[in-house]
Chain A
């Protein structure tokens, strides 16, 4: 009880002092309490700030990694784009080279002796596309000589007599040519097809993974023993998936117009 009484006294005195200080502080605009509080708070705040600054670097580190990751992402994207562009350029380079090669081939090709000839008869039936020309062994045209017209492949000589030759055109159902797509470099077999012959098309059988698109150029490949490489055949008209999932078919429109074929060029084969 004694303590209680003293405590009450101290409390009352402290309260009065506090009130006086408050009133005086209020009266003369002296931030008494806030200064006192500041004296207490300052070290705490200081240490907190210190701690904060120290940990702030840590958070900044995390923030930085985030930013760097984002930047990295962007750069990767840009890099991918550049790689893509680079591959396109490489493709262009390849194409350029192959086109140059074709030009070369054609120049080489001009060195073969060509003989002009006229078509004198076409197969009268509706099933096959064979025709006759007016030159034969008398003009050094032998079996498997290659026939061109308008710079495109027409076919080959099946049989030649002294004055005429029989020619199997590439759109005939029995003909097959080893062909190559210029842009992708894939080789395939070009066959005539009875179902496409009236549309003037023929069919190229090619691997399913070949990225062939409409408009691609098709030339004869280096694999054939009859046809020299690099003779233009035609362009891709349509692409059809094969039923077995392993091959795809491209319908090729030949450069040569087989309906109105009149003048042709015979390349004399070197083997004979």
Chain B
């Protein structure tokens, strides 16, 4: 139940960000919806599930758009795992921790991408930060407030049904 819902959610988010959310680009910069989803679920469900969702999302991205499989998988899994560690220490109704976690996750993802450019000799550090990383960061953390509410609701529903099925058995 949980696996299928989250899997479908990931697929929908991926398909949407490749097609419809292209229209959301502001100054050619699009937000990263995958990171929002991964961080939200990792915070709500713990590091085990977070890293699994990160793994799935990373594979999805690398298979469809990547040149080789691995880089995004690693980054997303790490984000899921680390954010999951905060699961026990915060209230779910709190806004601040998802906000801060998304901020650092997005920054980490962007820096990892930038590292790929460094390896190919593109070392214009200031340019990357000014035109790509900072705008993407701002866009992502702004939308993460909304996305966290949605994931919170979805998670609530799933947990309710799980409770019911547990009551039945």
Contact = CB atoms under 8 A, between A and B. Distances in A.
Contacts of B107: none
B28 A194 contact: no
A270 interface: no
A124 B67 contact: no
B161 interface: no
Interface in A146-196: 158, 166, 168, 173-174, 194-195
B127 A195 contact: yes
A125 B124 CA distance: 19
B113 A121 contact: no
Interface residues of B, number: 29
A124 B131 CA distance: 16
Nearest to A197: B28
Max chain B Cβ within 10 angstroms of own Cβ: one of A125, A127, A198: A125
A141 B155 CA distance: 42
Given A174-B67, A195-B127, A198-B28, A122 B22 contact: yes
A123 B65 contact: yes
Given A126-B30, A195-B127, A121 B136 contact: no
Contacts of B132: 126-127
A122 B64 contact: no
Given A166-B65, A173-B117, A173-B120, A125 B30 contact: yes
Contact of B29 (A126, A158, A195): A126
A130 B62 CA distance: 11
A211 to B, nearest CB: 28
Contacts of A173: 117, 120, 122
A128 B15 CA distance: 17
Max chain A Cβ within 10 angstroms of own Cβ: one of B22, B65, B117: B65
Contact of B18 (A123, A194, A198): A123
A5 B138 CA distance: 136
Contacts of B113: 125, 127
Interface of B: 14-15, 17-19, 21-22, 27-30, 32-34, 61, 64-65, 67, 113, 116-117, 120, 122, 124, 127-128, 131-132, 136
